[in-house]
Structure 1
Amino acid sequence: MALKEHDDLRLRRDQALTACCLAVAAETNVSLAPEQRASMLMDCLGALRAAHPAGRAARLGMREFRRGLRGRLGPLLPPSDEVDDRFGELRLLDSDGLVRDALEDLCREHLVPQAAWEQHWPWARARAEQEERRLFEVMRRLEPGEYRQARALLAECPAGPVGELRRRWDQLWMRFDFFEPVAGWSWCQLEGWWYPCPKCRWPMRVVHTGRDVEVRCEAHRARGVHYRLSREQGGRAAAPLLVGTGRASDAVVGLPASEQHLALSRPVWRYGVLPTLLEIELRDRLQALAHVRVEMWPGEVRPDEYDLKITVVVPGCKVRTWRVDAKDWASADALARVLLEREPTPYTLHIVVPDHQKHEVEFLKERLAGRRLKVCTPKILVEQVKRAAGGRGE
């Protein structure tokens, strides 16, 4: 079996195991409202069916699902190519219908946060968190040079024709299995075509509003990346033409939404691509300044310790240093929790959030008080560095 096929089976198996764990947690929680339990089970059943081949998935109903959760997991899981598959005989419930320790072990091994099964997160949220943690684990296993290469490629090549992606990712291709066929993403397709955002190069969303069609980047719409379908169209074989309606709506060309066009999964785009773009934007704004040196992913022990090291050396003045970790999270509360779970650093770390989240800065400062963590936006950080480069203090 080809390595790519093996990885696909493994990911499907992983998805099915996660769905079963979340379903068992909901099924056995007697304090859960019946409607919430039913909603969770339907959510998990949908995820489980998506992990199976089409013919087998059609035979998985709710009755079979709930009965299967009380036996060995084998009948619920998609086929495995491994001769010794320990999950096939695994049971998540004991003879009395109580959750076994195996549930917690499975969640830990498969990077499912404890809160996901204790608080009954929706499948999409649990899977996104799981994928983000998997990205973190993959990146941490890379050599420093490979790590820096992968971070740069996240920003440069998050989507495109598979041949181009293979060429650019080169030796990292088989180790970085976060790409998915755009053909399966109906939300970004317009008459069989998809359009990469001019800022992040990831597929833009297609929104039908009455008789109009808008194509926009979810992350960069506020910065003026949005389009409408042109009333003047080319031939049938050509992609529909778009007209820019925002200040940053550079010309874009549609690409076929085929199996041969891939894009990084949404969690990797959200928590890998977007922060990397923020880091690169900061670097570009700072490295042109006199007396300023910017290093990308320089970590003193590991390259993922922080994202930028900014050093200002002005003759006759004290050397100033900023160690920066860029974060682009939708929830400031969730970000604060993750930062508080980290091991304290022996140096001050500057957490930089996007300018459009400046209203969250004070909240984060309060939550992180007492730690060697400072919070600011790119605009604030650039002003601090400029003052230091001009020989002035903060």
Structure 2
Amino acid sequence: MSALAAAAVAVRELDADQRAALDACVVAALALSSSEGEARGRTRLLMECHGRYVRSFGVLDPAPPFKVFLERLRGSRVADLLPRQPRESALGELWLLDDDGMPSSALNRIAVEAAEYSHQAPGIGADIRHLHSLLRAVGMLSEGAGLSRISGETVQHAVFRALRAAGFEAYTQGREAMVRTPVLTRRELSRNAALTELGAYTEISPTRQFGGVWAACPMCGWTMRAIYRSNGAVDLECEDERHSLLGARYRAESVAGDWRLAPRGELRAVPELIPVEGHVALPYALWLWVTLPGLLEVELRDRLVAMGAEVRLWPFGDAYDLHVTVPGRSMSWRVDVKTWADPYGLAQKLRESPEGPGKLCFVVPEHLRGYLPVLRRGVLGTEARVLTDIDLVAEVGRA
């Protein structure tokens, strides 16, 4: 299990006071790492975060004073920031800010998944503020309601509900566009009425650009995070931990005023540096909950169609992800793709489904094959099955 996936499990295991402290730390770290916004506003937000942080500790275990709180945000592991510091927790391996005081991958992920007030924070919080407006616009949140937790289901429901209003064809095209093209030119966006009306694309975040340019991850096409180094260089890496580990890491250096990229990982192909001007991107939350899981769904559709199968994406109002049939054969597959790196959380979700899994075929990516026994126990006693994408392609090929 990756560090971020393990951290997601650890966050769910925190008690109410520890979660409140984590929320306060996440928002304060977002504010500290950003130069955007008015200084007094950031200070007020930091003081509000500290007040909530202090209350989470109670009287028997007093929290550190304001100055020490800010210092610890920059130098302490996440677990060490919490009341009754959780031992043997994945949060003991993560920091909210990196060595240069910039948001870590852990901070970005937790901000979306767990922070109650992160939509108020400057910097990367702009992504979350935009999502808050989007959810309110489609009726998921009442006016003025706090954004206590942005779950994958909430994000998907909000976006997909708005797309469905344009009709099934527009829904499928719009959703696939958000998977295949998480960054668009403004001209391309203007040609897609459903996406334009949805308002899902926004300005490229300052944390993912430098010198007026940005670069796309070669695996998912989204904007890579820009990390400034003290020597003037800029490191670029995909926000997805697995993509970064597989080689989506680069270093940009200015040579005579011209930025040049060099690989820092196994991928030797170097992406193009593209001007920020004229481009818009999905915010972090929509990339995380729509683009990333959709990559395998769309790829599977393309592979199966190339084999001669007939495949419908997201049929019956998104009841599941793929409906697969083979011409001249009576067999069919109702496929629900799951890309979670947390098999135990996924197994629990499968068990807790109020309607039950039915005859669905749950498909996980091949790199999660080792978790199949855990996932299969989650659907034990039902008609559902759990396969990897390679297994599914082979099964359809044999039909």
Q: Do 1:189 and 1:206's aligned partners in 2 also have CA atoms closer than 8 Å?
A: yes
Bigger shift: 135-144 or 281-290?
135-144
1:246 to 261, 266, 272: 266
Q: Do 1:310 and 1:322's aligned partners in 2 also have CA atoms closer than 8 Å?
A: yes
1:149 to 173, 180, 184: 173
Given residue 252 of structure 1, which amino acid in structure 2 is its aligned partner? P
CA distance in 2, matches of 1:380, 1:224: 26
SS in 2 for 1:240: strand
Structure 1 pair 351/244, CA: closer, same or farther in 2 (3 Å)? same
Q: Do 1:344 and 1:371's aligned partners in 2 also have CA atoms closer than 8 Å?
A: no
Structure 1 pair 227/375, CA: closer, same or farther in 2 (3 Å)? same
CA distance in 1, matches of 2:226, 2:45: 32
Q: How much does 1:139 deviate?
A: 0.5
Q: How does 1:198-277 map to 2 (within 5 A)?
A: 198-206=218-226, 215-217=236-238, 218=240, 219-229=242-252, 235-236=256-257, 238-243=258-263, 246-247=266-267, 249-257=268-276, 261-277=279-295
CA distance in 1, matches of 2:172, 2:223: 24
Q: Do 1:193 and 1:239's aligned partners in 2 also have CA atoms closer than 8 Å?
A: no
Task: Name 2:371's counterpart in structure 1.
Answer: 360
- TM-score normalised by the chain length of structure 1: 0.61
CA distance in 2, matches of 1:275, 1:361: 18
Q: Do 1:308 and 1:324's aligned partners in 2 also have CA atoms closer than 8 Å?
A: yes
SS in 1 for 2:334: strand
CA distance in 2, matches of 1:64, 1:284: 47
Q: CA RMSD in A?
A: 3.9
Q: How does 1:90-109 map to 2 (within 5 A)?
A: none
Q: How much does 1:355 deviate?
A: 1.4
CA distance in 1, matches of 2:252, 2:27: 37
Q: Do 1:215 and 1:227's aligned partners in 2 also have CA atoms closer than 8 Å?
A: yes
Q: How much does 1:243 deviate?
A: 4.5
Given residue 334 of structure 2, which amino acid in structure 1 is its aligned partner? R
Structure 1 pair 376/210, CA: closer, same or farther in 2 (3 Å)? farther
> How many residue pairs were aligned?
291
Unmatched 5+ stretches in structure 1: 1-24, 71-120, 389-394
**What does the per-residue CA deviation read over 1:245-299, in whole Å, with 9 as the maximum and x for residues that have no partner?**
535x5442112356x5432122321221122211121122111224x22222222
CA distance in 1, matches of 2:370, 2:386: 11
Given residue 194 of structure 1, which amino acid in structure 2 is its aligned partner? W
Indicate whether 1:332 and 2:332 are aligned: no
2:206 to 179, 184, 196: 184
Q: How much does 1:381 deviate?
A: 0.7
Q: How does 1:285-300 map to 2 (within 5 A)?
A: 285-290=303-308, 292-299=309-316
Q: How much does 1:344 deviate?
A: 2.6
CA distance in 1, matches of 2:176, 2:286: 14
Structure number with larger C-alpha Rg: 1
Unmatched 5+ stretches in structure 2: 1-13, 56-108, 116-127, 129-148
Task: Name 2:161's counterpart in structure 1.
Answer: 140
- TM-score normalised by the chain length of structure 2: 0.60
Q: How does 1:1-394 map to 2 (within 5 A)?
A: 32=17, 40-44=23-27, 55-60=40-45, 62=47, 66=51, 123-127=111-115, 130=150, 132=152, 133-141=154-162, 142=164, 143-161=167-185, 163-177=186-200, 179-185=201-207, 188-206=208-226, 215-217=236-238, 218=240, 219-229=242-252, 235-236=256-257, 238-243=258-263, 246-247=266-267, 249-257=268-276, 261-290=279-308, 292-299=309-316, 302=317, 304-314=318-328, 319-344=330-355, 347-388=358-399
Q: Do 1:159 and 1:263's aligned partners in 2 also have CA atoms closer than 8 Å?
A: yes
Percent identical residues: 29
**What does the per-residue CA deviation read over 1:27-82, in whole Å, with 9 as the maximum and x for residues that have no partner?**
xx6xx47xx76554444566799998654343345369749x99xxxxxxxxxxxx
